[in-house]
Chain A
Amino acid sequence: MIKNGTRLASQVCDTQVIVVRSADSLDDLRCGGAPMVPLGTDRSGELDPAFADGNVMGKRYVDETGAEVLVTKAGAGTLTIGRTALSLKEAKPLPASD
């Protein structure tokens, strides 16, 4: 299983994420239709138009098994496990307390 804190990048767009809560499902984490790879790996391939809904900087995405990733750089690809899209985790806003 991938380690919490691992940083991954898309091969086909600008997207970067960090693994906040790992689960076995993340072994098949993809972005823009292509598997996500360790940060620093060269880009290759093309964005699959079927997985081009994009993602939002600073948002958390989750699946049904409890996996959670945080987008540290936004891109054009859809974040998926296999072909199933991750869902945006809605946060209840807290007032500024610091």
Chain B
Amino acid sequence: MSISLLLEMAASGNPDRTAVVSGDTRLTTQQLSELADGGAGVIAASNARHVVYVGTGGMMLPLLIFAAARAGLAFTPINYRLSAEAVQMLIRRLPDPLVIADSPYVHAVGSDNIGAGKHVMDSEAFVAQARVAEPAAAFPDPDATAIVLFTSGTTAQPKAVELSHNNLTSYVTGTVEFDSAEPKDAALICVPPYHIAGVSAALSNLYAGRTMVYLPVFDAEEWVRLIDAEHVTTATVVPTMLERIVTVLERGDHRLPSLRTLAYGGSKAGLPLVRRALELLPQVGFVNAYGLTETSSTIAVLTPEDHREAQSASDPAVARRLGSVGRPVPGIEVQIRDENGAVLPPDQTGELFVRGEQVSGRYAGVGPVLDADGWFATKDIATLDADGYLFIGGRSDDTIIRGGENIAPAELEDLLIQHDQVRDVAVVGVDDPQWGQAIVAVVVPPPGVHPDPEELREYVRTRLRGSRTPDRVVFRDALPTGETGKVLRRQIVEELRTLERVERPAAVESSQ
């Protein structure tokens, strides 16, 4: 099934409903469909083999997703915040692309030196031409690639994930009921356009019949204003945005009466933050969504009912689910495996494997990385409880090996974040002559607070095993994070290593 059909169905079911609100532009489903048809004509006339977008998103994202699909080409939104050099490097990896860029980024795209790509167009020029172009309508093979996304590349070279039409439509039709939104429902979208959450938001809200209100550059005050002004009923944020929203809500008298559902995901949200948000917005249903680019977005959700149940539970097994990502969505199977590939029973920790039609696991230039039975290794450490709730314990690449013992940073982070003198924390391993790796807790205290490192070490020591006590605790004003709030651990480790060379500290003290 082609993603074009999602728009076709939306336009035939609800032609006059407002589909997109983006700045001063408002488009009905029918208008979006016509513009995408014209856009497909512009793309087809360029003789390009791929479509690229560099810009802040808004209406351009759904427009280009569907225009490219109707022209039968794959589409890649690229991170506009990258350096010109990095943007051009990614563009060169794509075949004969037509590059559409918001005007501030046209220069960065460098029309003269893309190499393979001969065509660069300003976003406004593209829209103007799409309004008058002869429509084109190709019917791509459902197994053809619809979207190529570059992973954020917390490891070296960004990987180009290929999502087929079938991957994306399986996700949308499997998790969203067509036209299930109420006529006045609206979603506020502030996730980046080059992220899988941006792509899935454009597809699933359209299919649900929910107006998409775009906030391309996130600002917490503006987010709160737009919720009220556009009577927004659902929104999705990453944890760093939630933190800022909560700060605004705590300062002023905002009730957000229209908001029914607030989803968060993209990286781990600390429990104290989730609890604060739940208390501030008692009428809102919170949703924790977990997924990867390679899985066409969400594969597990912790529902509003799960949140409420966990929040009020006296049974510790139920209460701890507030820190889980909930249960798999329909069509997704999950397994936890040990390092030898054996499937583990509930409550044992291993690597998460997933399977389902929305799972691509295919990279450009590499091919599919699924095993013989179609399972995809997420490289996330995870545990399932007896009722099927999934707990994510960080990336397996981040595991610290200290004195031969494997230590998941998430275990220490989940504990430290609950200390009232810790606002944010990352735990990393640094090279150490005695232990192989030493555990360093990088702590961001609340403003004006100066915690005692020994007290924090003692706090961990009394709750976890001694070998899991941080060897050192250092303090920072903020942690380096990516767009969705993922902590950039490599950067932290690099910085610690540099400091160490400068300071030449005494041998790391032993802690059993």
A67 to chain B, nearest CB (A): 15
Specify the chain B residue showing the minimal Cβ separation from A59: B178
A95 lies within 8 A of B175 (CB) = no
Instruction: Say whether A2 faces chain B, with CB atoms less than 8 Å apart.
Output: no
Q: Which of A58, A59, A92 has the most CB of B within 10 A?
A: A58
Number of A residues contacting the other chain (C-beta, 8 Å)?
19
Cα-based distance from A72 to B6 in the complex (angstroms):
9
Across the interface, A94 reaches (CB within 8 A) one of B175, B203, B205, namely B175
Interchain Cβ contacts under 8 Å between A and B, 22 examples: A4-B166, A5-B2, A5-B166, A18-B1, A57-B9, A58-B177, A58-B178, A58-B207, A72-B9, A73-B12, A94-B329, A95-B301, A95-B304, A96-B204, A96-B234, A96-B263, A97-B263, A97-B287, A97-B298, A98-B201, A98-B203, A98-B236
A4 lies within 8 A of B12 (CB) = no
A98 lies within 8 A of B200 (CB) = yes
The interface of chain A, by Cβ under 8 A from chain B, is: 4-5, 18, 20, 57-60, 70, 72-73, 91-98
B208 lies within 8 A of A96 (CB) = yes
B5 lies within 8 A of A18 (CB) = yes
Q: Fill in one digit per residue for B202-218: 1 if any A CB lies within 8 Å of its CB, else 0.
A: 01110110100000000
Instruction: Say whether B94 faces chain A, with CB atoms less than 8 Å apart.
Output: no
Chain B residues in 8 Å Cβ range of A91: 177, 330
Which 10 residue pairs of A and B lie closest in terms of their CB atoms, listed nearest first? A58-B178, A5-B142, A97-B289, A98-B201, A96-B234, A98-B204, A97-B263, A98-B200, A95-B287, A97-B298
Specify the chain B residue showing the minimal Cβ separation from A18: B1
Which secondary structure dominates chain A's binding surface?
A: loop
Chain A residues in 8 Å Cβ range of B179: 57-58
Instruction: Say whether B303 faces chain A, with CB atoms less than 8 Å apart.
Output: yes
Could you tell me which residues of chain B, from 178 to 200, have a CB within 8 Å of some CB in chain A?
178-180, 187, 197, 200
Chain B residues in 8 Å Cβ range of A59: 178
B328 to chain A, nearest CB (A): 11
Q: Fill in one digit per residue for B236-247: 1 if any A CB lies within 8 Å of its CB, else 0.
A: 100000000000
Cα-based distance from A95 to B216 in the complex (angstroms):
23
Specify the chain B residue showing the minimal Cβ separation from A92: B330
Chain B residues in 8 Å Cβ range of A58: 9, 13, 177-179, 207
Specify the chain B residue showing the minimal Cβ separation from A96: B234
Cα-based distance from A92 to B330 in the complex (angstroms):
9
Chain A residues in 8 Å Cβ range of B197: 98
B25 to chain A, nearest CB (A): 21
Specify the chain B residue showing the minimal Cβ separation from A91: B177
Chain B residues in 8 Å Cβ range of A57: 9, 12-13, 178-179
B118 to chain A, nearest CB (A): 33
Cα-based distance from A58 to B178 in the complex (angstroms):
5
A93 lies within 8 A of B180 (CB) = yes
Instruction: Say whether B176 faces chain A, with CB atoms less than 8 Å apart.
Output: yes
Specify the chain A residue showing the minimal Cβ separation from B264: A97
A94 lies within 8 A of B176 (CB) = yes
A4 lies within 8 A of B142 (CB) = yes
Instruction: Say whether B453 faces chain A, with CB atoms less than 8 Å apart.
Output: no
Cα-based distance from A98 to B189 in the complex (angstroms):
8
Chain A residues in 8 Å Cβ range of B176: 94
A14 to chain B, nearest CB (A): 10
Cα-based distance from A92 to B304 in the complex (angstroms):
14
